[in-house]
Amino acid sequence: MASVKLSVTVRKALVKKYRSDDLLKIDKAVKGWIAADAARGIETVHVALDEAAQMKRLGVPAITGRVTAKAVKLTIDALWKKLGPDYLVLFGGSDVIPYFVVPNPTYDSSGSGDDDVSVRTDNPYACSRPFVAAKRESFLVPDRVVGRIPDMPGDKDPGWLLDHLATATGWVPQPPKTFASTYAICCDPWTEAGKGCMRYIGRPTAGLMIAPPEGDNTPTATGRVRLQLHMIKCHGAKLTPYYYGQKGNAYPNALSSDTVRKKLRPNTIVAAMCCYGAQTFAPSDPRVAPEGAWPIAGAYLRGGAFGFAGSTEIAWVGVSEACCADMIVCRYLKAVVGGASQGRAFLESKQDYMHAIQKQGQAPGREDEKTLLEYVMLGDPSIQPAEGQQRDPAGPAPRRSAAPARMAAARAPAVEAERQQRRIFRMQLGAQIRDALPIRTDAPRAAGARASGHLQAVRQLMASGKGGFRFTTAAVHVDHVETKVSRAQIAAAGLAPLRAAGPGRRRSTPSTSHAIYQYYWSGRREVAGHKQIRLVRIETDAKGNVLRTSMVHSS
């Protein structure tokens, strides 16, 4: 039984953007991609959601009128019921298949923190539940394998699509030795968290380059760009072709799209913790400097990278230990190198990050929720970059003799059964994580009044006296965070014995809830046009006793 990959696009958006001869090139490349997938055991269904004839054959109404993210999601959900795909491809950039735009959980209206009012995200497409803007549980936790093959918004160059389609057509799983060495670079203040990331992905900490002194103009860093596993824990900014290092108030270039274009080898795995790391923009945009520069994510994809995992907005990273964006990236890289398809690895990275928080008996913070929303996977999600024990059926090892071929054929039903079991598990885990999401509401005034008692701890974490961070003591946001566990959940988990309500009465299982308060303060400064934002979270129990404190930096 073949795996099914659903690829969706909007034809009128492509027609508006590209010349007719360029559209013919794209259509031809798509046919080659579909044929190559068929040889791998993948049935790729590529459909324009606004083409009535195509959609009629699939038994789903075409989109008419303005194409919105919600309309695309509704149509994808209808196609999902018909096809039951294993992978979803969003074919085109944000002006073809629009991002969802949802409220930013860490937005700070005081001006002293995160100024992203909203988050551009593909997460709702990766969720099986219908999208409801007012219910974050409908779009926060993914359970589908999704990737986007992007072109650049407003750019008429078909190469953005054609070059990645060439990669998606011709890929072959690489032997583990391909990814044995790592291009890993990290800003100086985050060195300890960067070392933790290296340990997580099984790499020696001595291989972590610190920027500065390393950077876009040093022989060591530029030479290592040719290595084929990339982890980048640096700063990013809007409409720029650079990632930046940091030491004190200095922000030298750590990596540029020009260096990627010159040095990158095909078949590279890459993920970045940088703010706006996965941004896409037209090189012709007049706001881009230098003029005509490519976005870094686009340079990777056009250079033959398998895919790119990164953020659409301001990202949160750890300082002394890995968290938020660090953990999405690390889990993703570890799974891909272990043999997962890059789409499955990306899904697992998000689910497993949230599940790890819940397994510790904790509630996710607003920074965790933003991280889940803003991270996107660019590239064909069915690509399996590395050979490994957890091979997806889409990526068999190359045949070397007739005997291995017969063995592979004999194993095919088992591989298919394993894939189905993984899919079921991920659907179940997604539902479990969603059901355990806490209810987040504004805290009562009495809890907010306790905020002043935590200011000394906040000042110490912010280092506001030395660092010059703009920090407003009164600008605190306090959440009442309640996690409820139903009687059915308790009984199913076997966590509590059934107890009798009284003599002769039916035995019942108690329900339970756990409430905490989360206090958030932001500090901010700008140096030479670069934003530095710190977000402090202090958690207390209902009586005000401090349970834990944490701080993350913007990247």
Q: What is the pLDDT of residues 33-68, one digit of tens each?
A: 999 999 999 999 999 999 999 999 999 999 999 999
Residue 466 has pLDDT above 70, yes or no: no
Residue 98: which of 57, 50, 153 has the closest Cα? 153
Residue 71 has pLDDT above 70, yes or no: yes
Q: How many CB atoms lie within 10 A of CB 198?
A: 21
What's the pLDDT score for residue 467? 57
Taking each continuous run of H as one helix and of E as one strand, the counts in the chain are 17, 23
Q: For residues 320 and 342, is the Cβ–Cβ distance under 8 A?
A: no
Residue 493 has pLDDT above 60, yes or no: no
What's the pLDDT score for residue 330? 99
* Candidate ranges 360-369, 418-427, 466-475; pick with highest mean pLDDT: 360-369
**Where is average pLDDT lowest: 55-64, 103-112, 229-238, 314-323?**
103-112
Residue 100 has pLDDT above 90, yes or no: yes
Residue 388 has pLDDT above 90, yes or no: no
DSSP codes joined into one string, 435-471: HTPPEEEEPPHHHHHGGGGGHHHHHHHHTHHHH--EE
How far is the C-alpha of 177 from the C-alpha of 233, rounded, in Å? 23
Residue 465 has pLDDT above 80, yes or no: no
What's the pLDDT score for residue 513? 81
Residue 313: which of 128, 531, 461, 133 has the closest Cα? 531
Residue 121 has pLDDT above 70, yes or no: yes
How far is the C-alpha of 281 from the C-alpha of 93, rounded, in Å? 9
Q: Which amino acid is at 324?
A: C
Note the pTM of the prediction, 2 decimals.
Answer: 0.92
What's the pLDDT score for residue 279? 98
What's the pLDDT score for residue 111? 85
Q: What is the mean pLDDT of the chain?
A: 90
What's the pLDDT score for residue 236? 98
b/e burial code for range 113-130 (CB count within 10 A of at least 16 → b): bbbbeebbbbbbbbbebe
What's the pLDDT score for residue 457? 81
Residue 91 has pLDDT above 90, yes or no: yes
Who has greater pLDDT, 530 or 16? 16
Q: What is the pLDDT of residues 306-351, one digit of tens each?
A: 999 999 999 999 999 999 999 999 999 999 999 999 999 999 999 9
Which residues does 109 contact at the CB level (< 8 Å), separation at least 6? Answer: none
What's the pLDDT score for residue 221? 98
Paired tokens of 107? 């937005």
Q: What is the mean pLDDT of residues 254-274?
A: 99
Residue 399 has pLDDT above 50, yes or no: no
Paired tokens of 526? 């700008």
How far is the C-alpha of 192 from the C-alpha of 219, rounded, in Å? 24
Three-state DSSP string of 300-361: HHHCCCCCEEEECCCCEECCCCCCEHHHHHHHHHHHHHCCCCHHHHHHHHHHHHHHHHHHCC
Residue 175 has pLDDT above 50, yes or no: yes
* % of the chain beyond a pLDDT of 70: 88
**Where is average pLDDT lowest: 9-18, 53-62, 166-175, 530-539?**
530-539
**Where is average pLDDT lowest: 140-154, 199-213, 341-355, 522-536?**
522-536
Residue 417 has pLDDT above 80, yes or no: no
- In the three-class reduction of DSSP (H, G, I as helix; E, B as strand; rest coil), residue 107 is classed as strand
What's the pLDDT score for residue 338? 97
Q: What is the mean pLDDT of residues 139-154?
A: 98
**With left for phi above 0 and alpha for psi between -120 and 50, is residue 32 left, alpha or beta?**
alpha
Residue 101 has pLDDT above 80, yes or no: yes
Paired tokens of 513? 């809830």
- How many CA atoms, within 13 angstroms, populate the side-chain half-sphere of residue 543? 1
Who has greater pLDDT, 111 or 138? 138
Q: What is the mean pLDDT of residues 121-131?
A: 98
Length of the chain: 555
CA distances from 498 to 359, 490, 506, 509 (A): 23, 10, 10, 5
Residue 179: which of 22, 340, 44, 418 has the closest Cα? 340
Helices (H), 245-288: 257-263
pLDDT band at 421 (very low <50, low <70, confident <90, very high): confident
Q: For residues 324 and 553, is the Cβ–Cβ distance under 8 A?
A: no
What's the pLDDT score for residue 422? 85
Who has greater pLDDT, 101 or 456? 101
pLDDT band at 495 (very low <50, low <70, confident <90, very high): low
